[in-house]
Structure formats: structure tokens, C-alpha cells
Amino acid sequence: MKSMKPKQHDHLEIIRIRRHLHAHPELRFEEEKTSAFVANILREYGIEVEERVGGYGVVGTLSKGNSDKAIALRADMDALPMRELNTFPHASRHLGKMHACGHDGHTAMLLGAAMTLSRDIDFDGTVHFVFQPAEEGGAGARRMIEDGLFDRFKIDAIFGIHNWPGIPVGTFGVRPGALMASSNTFNVTITGKGAHGAQPHRSVDPVVAAIHIAQAWQTILTRNVNPNNAAVLSVTQMHSGTTDNIIPEVATLSGTVRTFDAETLDLIESRMSAITQSAAIAFGVETNFQFERLYPALVNHENDTLLATEAMQAVVGLEGLNANVEREFASEDFSFFLQHKPGCYAFLGNGVLATDNGCDVHTSHQLHNPLYDFNDDVIPTGVAYWVALVEKLLSL
């Protein structure tokens, strides 16, 4: 199996598509024009299209040969609600909306793979090109599943990639098992009794209780969680009071918890609740603790990860593959797909900072940065990986 990178004129066309998408971002569950744009391109290449799967999701289906084997390749389409600071010609034309996570590049690369596979590559089976809405906090993957993605389309395994700043262009990072953490939020409202700041004995102070709770929660990581099981518990907001000389009646705490396994998450949630209840008794306040599980941990399947790494190696060689990349505490709703089907999710290098080791290298701002832009030099590698994966899994 040899690497099949897009031809020069195809590469330029994919760049044009990517920059068009970047200039016209749409937020989660608003991807109407983006999905129509994607569907039209797929149809131009003779690919069967079904629209409005889980909102504005698009599924393109391409079959060749006689095999009933079928795989899915996924790209996300939505942008972020933030203002872009770039001034290049393809910068966002919609104030307060920006492709700051590279979903424009993911969509363009998968469209490029669809072009190549429809015209130039023979295989035996079916490829479903899944263009997903609402990855950015909207759980669009779950919405597509609930709308029958795996019932309406025969899919044996599903694969995804995400560009990753900090990894050199032309390289991949992947690992079997947990690759990205679960995403969970918490909020606790602490209600006491307000009083004059000079008369604290007349109050039931919710601020003191909140401080105690926030500090006690940190002992969960140091004294309850197994040190071999990484986890994050971050209190990111604390709100209370209106002025210097009033002890308020209410204080609130909120933040995020990230883990790589459900057992650790269960333990943390349970201990947070118990500490909050105990503080209510100790300080004489009332507490209302809420914990919401958003995205589960993204766990790659071992055999599918092995097959994916072989396809990556065919494209970038052994030197371009980190098959034991460091886990990330960021989260991804591709995890919902992997709870239902085997598959693999990987990082594709978007470039490293120019100051790294004093070398002249490709540059990339971090994800969700107002100066971020998907690196178009990544496109040939991404397209070639998708093609190599199809050739490997649906070989003649």
C-alpha cells in the first residue's frame, strides 16, 4: 500500500474549500449553509448524500466492489463563538464567530478524501463520510446517534482525526485506550444568612463555607484518587457579595472535572457531594450541589488503533508516528461514537511554535486562540491518511 496524497490541482481546490469554510463560520446547531455546501460537493463526485442527520449532520456514502464491510470517517463542521483577530483575506466575515479549532480543515480534508476515493481509488466495501454538527459543547455526535446514525447506516468501525498544535506538520499522535478526558461541570449554591460586615456573629457566612468546600475538594485528588489515575478538579468560578461591608446571603462555586475512566469520575463526584453536605452541617448553611456529565472519556479500541497506526505509517513513515502520544485533558464528543462502535481517534500535527528549539519550523497558534488558523500544509497528510485507511480496511 502506497501513500496517495492529493494531486496539486486537488490540493489547491481543497485549500479553496477550507478557506471558504473559514470565512463563513457557523456555530453549533446553526450549520445550515455549511452542511448544504458539503452536501453539494459530495454530490458532484457521485456520492450518495443524506442530510439533516442529528440536526445539520451530513452523511455521504460511497460503495465499491462486493463486500458488505463498511467504515465511517468523521469530520466536525461547527465554529466557536469568539471574535477572530486575524486579518488575512479568508478571515471570518461574521463578527463573533470563528473557526478557531480547525473544523474547517477537518471538513476540507474529508471532502478531499471523498474526491480521491470516488475517482482514483478502488476498494471493496462502503465508506460513510460523516460530517458532524455541534462538536463544540453541543454533543452533536450523540445527537446523530439518537437520530439513528448507526441504525440507518451499516458501520463496522468509525475513525476521526483532529489537528493538534504542538505536533510537527506531517506527523501523527495516537494511542490505544484513553486518549482524551471526560468533560463534566459542577455548581454548588451555598445559602446562609446575611449581615453587616462589622457584625459577623449575626450572620451565617456562605463565603467561609465556600472557601472551606473549595479547599476540601482538592484533597479528593491527593487523598482519595489512586495516584495512577490522573484527574483534574478545577474550581473556575466563585461568586458572592456586592460590597465590602455586607456579608452576603449566597455564594456559588462552579468549575470542571476531567478524568480518563468512569470509576475515578464516580469517586470524585461522590466525594464532592459528601464534602459539600458535611460543610453544610459544619457551617450551618444550606447547599445545593449539581454535577453534570457532558462528554465521556475518549477511549480508542486497541485493534482499530493498531490498524490506523499502520495506515499512518504508510503515509508518514515510522519517524512521523508517535503511537504512544501523551493523553490530553481536553474532551471530544467523538467519544460517544466509540461507546457504540469500535474505532480510533488521532491527532494530526498542525505545527509547533517558531521558538521551539530555535528552529525554523511551521507555526501554529493554540486551539481556541483568536489568532489560530488551520495549517493548509497539513491537508495532503490528512487526505492521504484517510485514503490509506480505506485501502487497508477495505482492501480488494
pLDDT, position 364: 84
Say yes or no: 103 and 167 in one domain: yes
Note whether residue 235 is domain-resident: yes
Task: Using the structure block, give the residue that is written with the C-alpha cell 508517535.
Answer: 322
Are residues 80 and 99 in contact, defined by beta-carbon separation less than 8 angstroms?
Answer: yes
pLDDT, position 257: 98
| CB neighbour burial string for 345-384, b if at least 16 within 10 angstroms, e if fewer | bbbbbbbbeeeeeeeeebbbbebebeebbbbbebbbbbbb
Identify the helix (H) or strand (E) that includes residue 270.
helix 262-283
pLDDT, position 352: 84
Note whether residue 105 is domain-resident: yes
Note whether residue 2 is domain-resident: no
- Mean pLDDT, the chain, integer: 95
Instruction: Please name the residues in contact with 293: beta carbons below 8 A apart, sequence gap of 6 or more.
Output: 182, 184, 265
Task: Using the structure block, give the residue that is written with the C-alpha cell 454535577.
Answer: 291
Residue 60 has pLDDT above 90, yes or no: yes
Q: What is the distance of C-alpha 284 from the center of its chain?
A: 41
Global pTM value: 0.93
Note whether residue 288 is domain-resident: yes
Say yes or no: 117 and 254 in one domain: no
Task: For residues 133 and 38, give the distance between their C-alpha atoms in angstroms, rounded to a whole number.
Answer: 12
Rounded to a whole number, what is the distance in angstroms from the first to the last CA of the chain? 11
Q: Residue range 336-346: average pLDDT?
A: 98
Full DSSP string of 339-363: HHS-EEEEEEEEE--TTGGG-----
Q: What is the CATH number of the domain that holds 113?
A: 3.40.630.10
Say yes or no: 28 and 136 in one domain: yes
Task: For residues 308 and 313, give the distance between their C-alpha atoms in angstroms, rounded to a whole number.
Answer: 9
Residue 354 has pLDDT above 60, yes or no: no
Say yes or no: 264 and 279 in one domain: yes
Note whether residue 3 is domain-resident: no
Task: For residues 214 and 220, give the distance between their C-alpha atoms in angstroms, rounded to a whole number.
Answer: 11
Task: For residues 334 and 161, give the distance between their C-alpha atoms in angstroms, rounded to a whole number.
Answer: 10
Residue 5 has pLDDT above 80, yes or no: no
Say yes or no: 56 and 202 in one domain: no
Boundary (domain end) residue, out of 279, 295, 311: 295
Grid coordinates standing for 342? Answer: 469500535
Note whether residue 351 is domain-resident: yes
Helix (H, G, I), strand (E, B) or coil at 158: strand
Please state whether 265 falls in left (phi above 0), alpha (psi between -120 and 50) or beta.
alpha
Note whether residue 327 is domain-resident: yes
Say yes or no: 42 and 158 in one domain: yes
Residue 3 has pLDDT above 70, yes or no: no
Q: Which domain holds residue 282?
A: 183-295
Boundary (domain end) residue, out of 258, 273, 295: 295
pLDDT, position 355: 56
Q: What pLDDT, in 10s, does the model give residues 372-387? A: 999 999 999 999 999 9
Note whether residue 1 is domain-resident: no
Say yes or no: 12 and 135 in one domain: yes
What's the pLDDT band for 298 if we cut at 50, 70, 90?
very high
Boundary (domain end) residue, out of 295, 329, 351: 295
Q: What pLDDT, in 10s, does the model give residues 8-25? A: 668 999 999 999 999 999
Are residues 350 and 167 in contact, defined by beta-carbon separation less than 8 angstroms?
Answer: yes
Say yes or no: 27 and 105 in one domain: yes
Count structural domains, the chain.
Answer: 2
- Give the CA distances from residue 49 to residues 41, 46, 240, in Å, rounded to whole numbers and listed in that order: 10, 9, 52
pLDDT, position 276: 98
Say yes or no: 290 and 330 in one domain: no
Say yes or no: 282 and 311 in one domain: no
Task: For residues 207 and 247, give the distance between their C-alpha atoms in angstroms, rounded to a whole number.
Answer: 8
Task: For residues 21 and 31, give the distance between their C-alpha atoms in angstroms, rounded to a whole number.
Answer: 11
Q: Residue range 196-217: average pLDDT?
A: 98
Say yes or no: 252 and 305 in one domain: no
Say yes or no: 290 and 304 in one domain: no
Helix (H, G, I), strand (E, B) or coil at 133: coil
Are residues 86 and 138 in contact, defined by beta-carbon separation less than 8 angstroms?
Answer: no
Q: What is the CATH number of the domain that holds 196?
A: 3.30.70.360
Residue 41 has pLDDT above 60, yes or no: yes
